[in-house]
Amino acid sequence: MINMFIIAGIIGGLGSGEIILIAFVVLLLFGGSKIPELMKGIGKGVKGFKDGLNGIEDEINGTAKKEPEKNDQKPTDPGKSNTPTN
């Protein structure tokens, strides 16, 4: 989580004071008990997004798992002939 603040500070031009103020406001708004639930939800969302990206990459590369084709014909016994006998 600290790495996220460092990256946000570098990219957005936020200083350490602003980051501490934002963290304090988030703590006040959500409370200590809600923050873990919030982070868990964000983590699940990021994981789903990454899984979706990996699925798209697999489709593009042609390595996606293909479903076996269903065959409507019943398997025949190799010992029996399929020709009708009279």
Per-residue model confidence as pLDDT tens digits over 20-68: 888 888 888 888 888 888 889 989 999 999 999 888 888 888 765 555 5
Q: At 79, which helix (H) or strand (E)? A: none
Q: Cα(26)–Cα(23) distance, rounded to whole angstroms?
A: 5
Phi and psi torsions of 37, nearest 5°? -65, -40
Angle at 18 between CA 43 and CA 45, to 5 degrees: 10
Global pTM exceeds 0.85: no
Q: Cα(45)–Cα(40) distance, rounded to whole angstroms?
A: 9
